[in-house]
Structure 1
Amino acid sequence: MITQILQTPNQKTGLLQTIFRLLLGANLLFAGIGHLTWARTEFLAQVPTWLPLNADLVVVLSGVVEIGLGLSLLLLGRYKVWVGWATALFFVLIFPGNISQYVNRVDAFNLNSDTARLVRLFFQPVLVAWALWSTGAWRAYRKGQLF
């Protein structure tokens, strides 16, 4: 079982999927660097107040994860299926921050209306689907190449 899990699924992806994988990787890299530099205050606004961790630590750690995922999407094509699942999971894990921003009416990233914050919530599933589709992760799962 462990050997099968560690085995890299051989999932071919098309040119359009590769382009979208690289775009997603570049965006995550950019956002991750923003977490650590110019956009730190904006990202602080998204950390849920109920989270029992230091908000700045959450921003730094999530930025480091985004940088790692971005670089992995850009450079580790051989492991793209696993990176796709990790990226999708990351998008699911940070979703409560988006919900918190909407519920608490926190202005950040030019999302300064309830409508703008609500619309953003619907973009998160798109990011999950983007990660799974562009890396071939969903297809590998459907073909039984995982687990």
Structure 2
Amino acid sequence: MSFLALIAVAAAMAWALSRLVRRPLDLRGAMRWGMGLGFMFTGSDHFANAATRYVPMIPDTLAAHALGWVYLTGAAELAGGIGLLTPASLYRRLGWPNLQRQAGIWLAVMLVAVVAANINVALKGQSVEGLAFGAWYYWLRPLFQPVFVAWALFSVGVWPRRAGAAAR
């Protein structure tokens, strides 16, 4: 839920700033910026607070390599954030395909994969350093994963499909 607040505020700020510089973002663009900035923040946080915040969240079956998993997911979040925030015009100038779509899809996949860590925290009755909420928060967190997955897919135009997209 704190991530939802983070990406919603970032999206609103991106939308407002785009209006000020007279290059207005549509809803998908603002949401893409919100998610990209959110993942840049949380990806960086994986490296800054790996041992204290993220390693304890890893399920016991993956605990032998917990720090590696934390760094891998942090790197994936940073790469996804960069992919979302890189303008399509830059991709074109470099002769690359627009990677925004792939970034959104792979972030959605990662969000599905890390729900195990959120469930693990709730089942163990743990708390997470820096997220000083009651136990209820950790039980609600996994329920928000579908919202984040939908946000990622919507922001890059994967879901829902626009009318006529199937014909193309």
Task: Give the TM interval when normalised to the shorter protein.
Answer: 0.7 to 0.9
SS at match of 2:127: coil
Distance 1:66 1:84 in 2: 11
Relative to structure 1, the CA distance from residue 39 to residue 53 in structure 2 (aligned partners, 3 Å threshold; closer, same or farther) is closer
Identity %: 27
SS at match of 1:54: helix
Query: Structure 1 residues 42-51 or 125-134, which shifts more?
Result: 42-51
Unaligned runs of 5+ in 1: 1-13
Deviation at 1:110, TM superposition (A): 2.1
Ranked by relative contact order (alpha carbons within 8 Å, sequence separation 6 or more), the top structure is 1
Matches within 5 A, 1:57-76: 57-75=68-86
Using the size of structure 2 for normalisation, the TM-score is: 0.70
Query: Structure 1 residues 120-129 or 32-41, which shifts more?
Result: 32-41
Distance 2:139 2:151 in 1: 20
Coordinate RMSD, CA, aligned: 2.3
The letter for the 1-side match of 2:120 is: S
Relative to structure 1, the CA distance from residue 60 to residue 141 in structure 2 (aligned partners, 3 Å threshold; closer, same or farther) is farther
Q: Is residue 136 of structure 2 the alignment partner of residue 136 of structure 1?
A: no
After TM superposition, the runs of 4+ consecutive aligned structure 1 residues lying more than 4 A away are none
**2:99 matched to which residue of 1?**
79
> How many residues get paired?
133
Unaligned runs of 5+ in 2: 1-24, 89-97
**2:61 matched to which residue of 1?**
50
CA contact (8 A) 1:111 1:117 kept: no
Q: Is residue 107 of structure 2 the alignment partner of residue 110 of structure 1?
A: no
Using the size of structure 1 for normalisation, the TM-score is: 0.80
